[in-house]
Structure 1
């Protein structure tokens, strides 16, 4: 009888551990955004231009940049993929950028460059009047600009 109770307790403890791990586990797109931030922020001061592929430590096919005030539904429709924790930009100057690999969001950049430490701006193929798109095999040469400790990548 004692061993059944012990097994039950062990099973419950293991289940609790699995649940807790999953609660605090970051999504792939969150992990990749942190890696991207680290790469961009660490671009050497002497570098004026970079290829975006050189600072993205993950594979991607397409990147979308959404205009301010674009609704969640339009982002989901444009990207063709719905995921949690997406926010709508609420003012000018905010980034809302989505990297896709196949049909999966692999990186999501959201917020003010002042808060993130970096910003990415580009002009590419216009999508539905709300977004710009670049392919990984397109022109990925970006100017590196620095201002007040923030790194901006621009290929506009």
Structure 2
């Protein structure tokens, strides 16, 4: 069996990796859709990579598609098919950097509806003209000029660069999660480890927006933590020994900081307990949480080289 297209084979291997990861972390119908969709494309890519006939047919179809796009969209042809993806990426960017508000939800829904509507219209419009050309015998006869060929090569190059950057960012997200969490962790460490006062409230000193803060007992499982905070991200960890600082801040349901380490590493220890928001209703640990606006006063003490903040929440 002769390898015809190494690039296509590489793409199929990436697709296989994605499918395997989704199978190993399967979580509902959305994952099933991606497994079927990417799996189909992966199988098709493998066939093309090892079949000269399939590869040549793909090249011919792509060439005629470029001719059709040029005739239908002119200079806009190079990005005409990318509009839905760009809108979805914009929606994802807004969702990751903005706080969850009614306006943001309306904006995201609007962007996604526009993306879906454009994708449906684009598919119908292109398919309609493709059928007309096939009916008139024009499909397969179109030719690109030398200048058009160069323009498409430049377009493919930029698409490849953008796709590569997006792939790297996606891989970093899968491994580390939201990088803002680590920035917020650093800002929290800088602020709390240098406190020089007797008492303080978190509303006055936490250097980022938050709505709820949780503390978890040692050995609380990661699955339990994910259920409590309502999120599954790599930044959430479980403490493996006594005395670890285990704090999670969320902002309207999104994790914005997650610290699980020994106080000597961060220079501070934050804890609180008591009140109606402390729970020990399961066997693998317990947790407490307070809300922004509760104005719980924390006692601040210097304790063996680090700053200790502690509050006893009244019933």
**Fold shared per TM-score above 0.5:** yes
SS at match of 2:219: coil
1:63–1:100 contact (8 Å) kept in structure 2: yes
1:137 is matched with 293
Q: CA deviation at 1:114?
A: 0.8
User: How many residues are aligned here?
Assistant: 154
Q: CA deviation at 1:91?
A: 0.7
Q: Which moved more, 1:125-134 or 1:17-26?
A: 17-26
State the alpha-carbon separation in 2 of the partners of residues 9 and 96 from structure 1: 46
State the alpha-carbon separation in 2 of the partners of residues 79 and 40 from structure 1: 23
- Give me the TM-score of the superposition, normalised by structure 1: 0.84
2:181–2:235 contact (8 Å) kept in structure 1: no
1:103-154: CA deviations, max 9, x gaps? 2212111111111222101114212341112122224211222234422211
Q: Which residue, 205, 209, 214 being the options, matches 1:59?
A: 209
> How big is the alpha-carbon RMSD for the aligned residues of Structure 1 and Structure 2?
2.2
2:259 is matched with 109
Q: Which residue, 10, 15, 18 being the options, matches 2:166?
A: 18
Matches within 5 A, 1:4-153: 4-24=152-172, 27=178, 28-43=180-195, 45=196, 47-124=197-274, 125-129=277-281, 130-153=286-309
Q: Which moved more, 1:119-128 or 1:19-28?
A: 19-28
State the alpha-carbon separation in 1 of the partners of residues 251 and 271 from structure 2: 20
- Give me the TM-score of the superposition, normalised by structure 2: 0.45
User: Which structure carries more helix by proportion?
Assistant: 2
Structure 1 residue runs of 4 or more that deviate by more than 4 Å after TM superposition: 21-26
1:3 is matched with 151
1:48-75: CA deviations, max 9, x gaps? 2111111112222221111101111211
Unaligned runs of 5+ in 1: none
State the alpha-carbon separation in 2 of the partners of residues 99 and 49 from structure 1: 20
Whose radius of gyration is greater, 1 or 2? 2
Larger RCO, structure (CA 8 Å, separation 6 or more): 1
State the alpha-carbon separation in 1 of the partners of residues 233 and 165 from structure 2: 25
Unaligned runs of 5+ in 2: 1-148
1:78–1:127 contact (8 Å) kept in structure 2: no
